Amino acid sequence: MSLAVLNPGGRDPEQHFPDFAGAPDEAAHPPVNYHAFAACSGGAFHRKDQAIPAETKNVLLLLRDLKASRDALLELRRAGKTVIVALKEAGAFQVAELLGKPARLRLFQEICQRADAALATVPDLSPLYLGAGARRVEFLPTPYPVEDERWDFSIPIEERRGVFIGTREFSTPSRNHLAALLAVRQLAEAMQEPVTVFNGDGWRGRRMLARLQLPDSLLRVIENRLPYPRYLRLLARHRIVWQLDASAVPGQVAGDALLCRVPCVGGNGTTERLVFPDLCGHGRTPEQLFDLAARLLDHPHDVQVVIERAVELARESLSFAVVAKQLQAVFARLAR
């Protein structure tokens, strides 16, 4: 089954995935987030419904510009397509912001009622879709090409050093970015492990990071966005990924860590829960997470066991092959 993923009016250009994940390419959008659903099925990502071939019957319609999505849904249904809808930004705070006005909520309800089904990449979203009138809701995690050796960015464990901070935003309370930085300072100083963090807040972010008062030898600040393969190579050089994100997101931070075979400590996203269940923030306090991070830094031989289990769980729950099979089954049920 070849799936068309449609983001009406979006900025990402049309992209086809005949080789599924393909080889890492700095010039192309990586097969992550909703591009991953297209890639795992050998399908395509579109921003105009007219670009979807007539023979492609199964469509995943992304919801961000709700008016554009509603109009696209009407056209797709007239063309005889089977349409599943999904919120493009699925974090709890992102959903609240999108649906925070009566007119937007009305559009969302109309879309859910007209679509064949809704897709929840976060389990917490299922009641939202059902409450808005969706006929049925399917939960599927965002797939990752964990079985594709071209997307294994790991390096030998003995060559790794430091802690990679998984969050970037000071301004979003549920990200707990500041709390993560303050907590990791103790680890960095006690174990002399350098900390790498992306600064997405310009001069304000630099001033906040300066207040950590870590020596230059223990703090590396990345100011610019990196192409995805280059970003993964940077992440792969670290011993752990650390975060306290409580935003209930699909979990790209943990997915990135998975591709690098680096343990991800903290975070309550979908990928964190499925792939790093013994390290995730779901049901754990920051103090418990701190202890887990300290143990991994103090006992590096445990990392290999953690990673082997993570890869095994990923192959069972969110590999390209598994999610593609689940997508095919979902659309087959809807076609009956």
Paired residues of 117 in beta bridges: 84
Domains 4-143+319-335 and 149-316 share a fold: yes
Cβ atoms of residues 85 and 61 within 8 Å: yes
Domain 149-316: top CATH class: alpha beta
The domains of the chain are located at 4-143+319-335, 149-316
Q: How many CB atoms lie within 10 A of CB 226?
A: 14
Q: Which two tokens stand for residue 43?
A: 């399908």
- Fold adopted by 4-143+319-335: Rossmann fold (3.40.50)
Output the tens digit of pLDDT for each of the chain's 336 residues: 899 999 998 999 999 999 999 999 999 999 999 999 999 999 999 999 999 999 999 999 999 999 999 999 999 999 999 999 999 999 999 999 999 999 999 999 999 999 999 999 999 999 999 999 999 999 999 999 999 999 999 999 999 999 999 999 999 999 999 999 999 999 999 999 999 999 989 999 999 999 999 999 999 999 999 999 999 999 999 999 999 999 999 999 999 999 999 999 999 999 999 999 999 999 999 999 999 999 999 998 899 999 999 999 999 999 999 999 999 999 999 997
Distance CA 72, CA 302 (A): 50
- The answer to pTM > 0.85 is yes
Q: Write the Ramachandran bin of 182: left for phi over 0, alpha for psi from -120 to 50, otherwise beta.
A: alpha
Instruction: Say how many CA atoms lie within 13 Å of 127 toward its Cβ.
Output: 2
